[in-house]
Amino acid sequence: MLALLSPRTKLVFIANPNNPTGTYLPFSEVRRLQAGLPDHVLLVIDAAYAEYVRKNDYSSGLELAAEAENVIMTRTFSKIYGMASARLGWAYGPPSVIDALNRTRGPFNVSTPSMMAGIAAIEDMAFLEKSVDHNEAELPRVTQALQGMGLTVTPSVGNFVLVHFAPGQADAADAHLRKRGYILRAMRSYDLPDALRMTIGTVAENDGALAALKEFMS
């Protein structure tokens, strides 16, 4: 990314963890990226899936956004809190950037019910811990089950896995799953035509999707 900088570069955007791969950059690499940017280039760190990560070398970017004048971290209530329909998120960064965002955003861009729900979600630590524990148990189980079918899975730290099929098989697998009531995310728009992204659901949902995939693979 640093090699691709040009005089026209104004902003560098990274998702950490990344969607749709589920991979992440160690914080040392994020710091190295920021250190290599000119002061006028803004680094945006999208940490939508930060709550799921249990790696000692990971950071959401909060500390970097607190100390650097060209870093902003964005977060969302759509993932671990399960509030996607509320359209609620937050950002943390230097006052100059926050001021620019406040001056350009639409008035009343977040509803009062969404804000109240966000406050309640932040205070509900039991729900967050329950969600983390569930993902910690189901993510490796689902990964191992998929690998047991002969599928390649990108190692993930999020609440989803990127499943790779043989060339030309992903569309057929998608169609097979849909007929049985399971919708995985097709990755053709990400230039990954032979992959599907599977979100970690309930145990029953995961079992059903895995059974349908096993049926397809056999």
Give the model's pLDDT for residue 107.
87
| Mean predicted lDDT score pLDDT of the chain | 97
Q: What is the rounded average pLDDT of the residues 13-28? A: 98
For residue 22, is pLDDT > 90? yes
Q: Dump pLDDT digits (tens) for 102-131.
A: 999 988 899 999 999 999 999 999 999 999
> Whose CA is closest to 54, among 75, 28, 33, 24?
24
H helix and E strand count, the chain = 7, 8
Q: What is the rounded average pLDDT of the residues 177-185? A: 97
Rg (CA), the chain: 19
> Whose CA is closest to 206, among 139, 156, 152?
139
Give the model's pLDDT for residue 20.
97
Task: Give the residues across from 89 on adjacent strands.
Answer: 76
Please say whether the beta carbons of 88 and 76 come within 8 A: yes
Does residue 154 sit in helix, strand or coil?
A: strand
End-to-end CA separation in angstroms for the chain:
41
Buried b (16+ CB within 10 A) or exposed e, 98-119: eeeeeeeeeeeeeeeebeebbe
Which residue's structure tokens are 């524990």? 133
Helices 203-217 and 170-179 sit at what angle, rounded to 10 degrees? 130
Q: Dump pLDDT digits (tens) for 130-179.
A: 999 999 999 999 999 999 999 999 999 999 999 999 999 999 999 999 99
Query: What is d(CA 83, CA 114) in angstroms, rounded to the nearest whole number?
Result: 9
Q: How far is CA 182 from CA 10, 175, 210, in A?
A: 41, 9, 10
Q: What is the rounded average pLDDT of the residues 68-96? A: 96
Structure tokens at 100: 């620019």
Task: Count other C-beta atoms under 10 Å from residue 33's C-beta.
Answer: 19
